[in-house]
Structure 1
Amino acid sequence: MSIKIDYYEILEVSRTVSSGDLKKAYRKQAMRYHPDRNQGDETAEQKFKEINEAYDVLKDDQKRAAYDRYGHDAFEGGMGGMGGGFSGFGAGGLGDIFDQMFGDMMGGRRGGARRTGADIQVQVEISLTEAYSGINKDVEIQTRITCETCHGTGSADPSGSTTTCATCHGAGKVRAQQGFFLVERMCPTCHGSGRTVQNPCKTCHGSGTEAKKETISVDIPAGVEDGTRIRMAGKGEAGGDGVQPGDLYVHVAVMSHEIFQRDGANIYCRVPLRMTQAALGTEVEVPVIDGTRTKVRIPSGTQTGETFRLRGKGFSVLRSSARGDMYINVGVETPHHLTKRQRELLEEFETEAGDDHTKANPESSGFFAKVRDFFEGR
């Protein structure tokens, strides 16, 4: 049985990617692996097929919602993974699946479940240091609140008299054909109640809600990772009389840092050293993500790529008392623009080493010895 790769990974995008950025990523990947540019390369051809399959699903809002909820299982069953049979979800059938996928967004599910207002999605950018310490952010959202004129009844008449909805005839639901799907959703006229007001409120026009900008305080915990989604129950849009408000989903984007790079709970910092520091050994002071400094002893003979570990100097792990580590990656820098005297000193150093550099430079000596043996063997 073949293993399906995550569609988002195939296109190298996050799960919160916008439709515009999704299209850009698809074009970039498709151009890179197009068969005309990789003639005879079967791997590139297979990759190109995967890219098109992934984009075909993610560009469609309904298919993407199904994939986000059920993964590849949503498209198994005889249609080549491109919007297929929806097998494996029990005897409820396609209608139940769409009720599960879109029930919350459309204001509830079949079977008398409570109706809800629309959910709100918002993205918040924070710095790496804010992700380390945690932060409380004020987020401005465009939402709908309970109408202050009619107090959510939708009626200008204090009695709030209603009549049967003419659109759904009291069912609270309507059906629509979308391609080969028959989708059942909440009635857009009565919002699932099956009733409409006889004398609509002049402020909200009978909806029971009105548009408003609000500022919501979001508590972002320490150790949060890029792409984390925070759910704030009941902070979404109001839905009118007798309808529970939706939820607010805050997508956290952690910006890159000029000094530190993060990998899970661990932090990496590249420290360049002068050639003399690496050769003679030294002690350097490096910054820590918590805003402090610490000293790291560099032994003599340190090479580029060597790593020094600072325990417990990384990120905290969500829902855990564990903490990551900080790693110092060393890069030895060769000097540029030597003065005459510096060049003389280096030439003296080279002369002093003589023909045998094995002790001073074992790696390069070993490499060129292998090269010599290679040519002699030929």
Structure 2
Amino acid sequence: MKTISPMLKLPFLVKPTSSLQASGFLRFPHLFDAVYPLKKLENGRQGHWMAAVPCGSMQAVMWGVQPQLVFGSSAVARASMSIHCLSKRSPSLSSTIFSQKPLGELFGSASYVKPRQSRGARLVVRAEKDFYSVLGVSKNANKSEIKSAYRKLARNYHPDVNKEPGAEDKFKEISNAYEVLSDDEKRSIYDKYGEAGLKGAGMGMGDFNNPFDIFESLFEGMGGMGGMGGRGSRSRATEGEDQVYNLILNFKDAVFGIEKEIEITRLESCSTCNGSGAKPGTTPTKCSTCGGQGQVVASTRTPLGVFQQVMTCSTCGGEGDVSTPCNTCGGEGRVRKSKRISLKVPAGVDSGSRLRVRNEGNAGRKGGPPGDLFVTIDVLPDPVLRRDDTNILYTCKVSYIDAILGTTTQVPTVDGMVDLKIPSGTQPGTTLVMAKKGVPLLNKRNMRGDQLVKVQVEIPKRLSSDERKLIEQLAGLKKEKTPSVR
């Protein structure tokens, strides 16, 4: 096959082997959707050549179709599969076996780079994933080494153990790699044609939807790795959601604590179906779409490669099984109900304090434990008292006469009105301490803060004539006692 048109500038051509030349390659033009007539073949017949690699499917290999690269008029060595091929299996030769992107789109895509190989040089087209690198083994690794590498990685990235973002995707990736490299036939095809060869042969990729099955088969008999699951892990019991309730308290109730009855609305287990979500008398069956996992892997081919995305199964809604829904709860397994509960608020709470009431949240799914109820406290302000942590602040107004002579006055506290002695000569702004009249320490009622009273001396703006005379006399006495300064 040396008579190749030098004017053809297509990167990919496919030629028939000598065994097919005699039988007539023209009998299979329907295998390709983009063919170009070239010069006559060696046997004198006009042939058809396809200007793209046919995905390296096993059918094409068995028929003797070998992908080749051509630069100008030079044929070079066999290449790996193009990532742009989309293969379809067919039971007969009269059906379309290969479906390909238009050549203009193929060679105009951002992922296509014009080859720079010299005449006769080998062109290497990389597979979409390097499964050996994924498992961290060499291409000469034996089955034991591959199995050991997979076990180590599977333990580290299993989603029941590793909650980091991306751990589940990594687990699926290493499971995909092990699925291929642990199978002699799949590994042989992968080594020759890459991941596209597996798809073209109709094998391998279809098994990737259930990587947990691989994990279970390896760790079977080991107690499930301490509860780590695969099949059915999506539909097992899960804890109910937490609930939040906002409680408003007055100032004194927050200081001394109180027991209040509150009404909450939450999801409770359906009594009709006992929380299963299934109609009584029916039995749930495993979802045939996701195989009981509750998730499916959607693969999208782009010019940059194949992108896989884990999605919730639309058939079972992520439950992993399908059942006739309960008439009461509609298949949810839970119904919304109101409930009154008695809540003990401890002394010393403040705005923003959060109380936790265990098992009073939403009921769990599939028999799982209920969530908790979190009560957030909001304290109303007092008209005259203010709070500073465990201390209570109050401002006491006294006349200038009482500040000078001293007095006893009543001040409000959380315990009621209490007498407070104002010492003679008290200066404006003085703070007096009323010990243990503050807020109890949270969960320590025998320990309390103080009430701090700030004295505010009131100076009259207007004086009567008698008051003025007395003050002037006092001022005169003050001057007589003050020695003159020379």
Common fold: TM-score over 0.5: yes
* Aligned partner of residue 354 in structure 1, secondary structure: helix
Tell me how far 1:97 sits from its aligned partner.
4.1
2:460 aligns with one of 335, 341, 348: 335
Task: Give, in whole Å, the separation in 1 of the partners of 2:331 and 2:342.
Answer: 30
1:289 aligns to what? Answer: 414
CA 1:296–1:195 in 2, change beyond 3 Å: closer, same or farther? same
* Amino acid of the structure 2 residue aligned with 1:115: T
Q: Is the 8 Å Cα contact of residues 227 and 251 (structure 1) preserved in structure 2? A: yes
Answering whether residue 320 of structure 2 is matched by residue 194 of structure 1, we say: yes
CA 1:165–1:220 in 2, change beyond 3 Å: closer, same or farther? farther
* Amino acid of the structure 2 residue aligned with 1:315: V
Task: Give, in whole Å, the separation in 1 of the partners of 2:297 and 2:362.
Answer: 24
1:249-281 Cα deviation digits (max 9, x unpaired): 111122221222212222222111112111110
Structure number with the bigger relative contact order (C-alpha 8 A, sep ≥ 6) is 1
Tell me how far 1:171 sits from its aligned partner.
2.4
* Amino acid of the structure 1 residue aligned with 2:333: G
The 5 Å alignment of 1:106-255 reads 111=228, 115-159=238-282, 161-165=283-287, 169-172=291-294, 193-196=319-322, 198-255=323-380
CA 1:306–1:203 in 2, change beyond 3 Å: closer, same or farther? same
Which consecutive residues of structure 2, in runs of 5 or more, have no partner in the other structure? 1-155, 167-226, 230-235, 299-307
Task: Give, in whole Å, the separation in 1 of the partners of 2:314 and 2:404.
Answer: 74
* Amino acid of the structure 2 residue aligned with 1:283: T
2:386 aligns to what? Answer: 261
Task: Give, in whole Å, the separation in 2 of the partners of 1:184 and 1:356.
Answer: 96
Task: Give, in whole Å, the separation in 2 of the partners of 1:355 and 1:111.
Answer: 96
Tell me how far 1:204 sits from its aligned partner.
1.0
* Amino acid of the structure 2 residue aligned with 1:96: K
* Aligned partner of residue 440 in structure 2, secondary structure: coil
Greater Rg over alpha carbons, structure: 2
Q: Is the 8 Å Cα contact of residues 154 and 240 (structure 1) preserved in structure 2? A: no
Task: Give, in whole Å, the separation in 1 of the partners of 2:370 and 2:318.
Answer: 14
Q: What is the alpha-carbon root mean square deviation over aligned residues?
A: 3.8
* Amino acid of the structure 1 residue aligned with 2:341: I
1:103 aligns to what? Answer: none
Q: Is the 8 Å Cα contact of residues 98 and 183 (structure 1) preserved in structure 2? A: no
Which consecutive residues of structure 1, in runs of 5 or more, have no partner in the other structure? 1-90, 100-109, 177-181, 359-378
* Amino acid of the structure 1 residue aligned with 2:321: R
Q: Is the 8 Å Cα contact of residues 433 and 452 (structure 2) preserved in structure 1? A: yes
Task: Give, in whole Å, the separation in 1 of the partners of 2:158 and 2:478.
Answer: 80
The 5 Å alignment of 1:349-364 reads 349-354=474-479
Task: Give, in whole Å, the separation in 2 of the partners of 1:138 and 1:337.
Answer: 55
CA 1:350–1:199 in 2, change beyond 3 Å: closer, same or farther? same
Q: Is the 8 Å Cα contact of residues 346 and 443 (structure 2) preserved in structure 1? A: no
CA 1:225–1:143 in 2, change beyond 3 Å: closer, same or farther? same
Answering whether residue 442 of structure 2 is matched by residue 309 of structure 1, we say: no
Number of paired residues? Answer: 251
* Amino acid of the structure 2 residue aligned with 1:286: V
* Aligned partner of residue 278 in structure 1, secondary structure: helix
Q: TM-score, normalised by structure 2?
A: 0.45
Q: Percent identity?
A: 35
Task: Give, in whole Å, the separation in 1 of the partners of 2:426 and 2:396.
Answer: 12
Q: Is the 8 Å Cα contact of residues 269 and 326 (structure 1) preserved in structure 2? A: yes
Task: Give, in whole Å, the separation in 1 of the partners of 2:336 and 2:326.
Answer: 14
CA 1:309–1:171 in 2, change beyond 3 Å: closer, same or farther? same
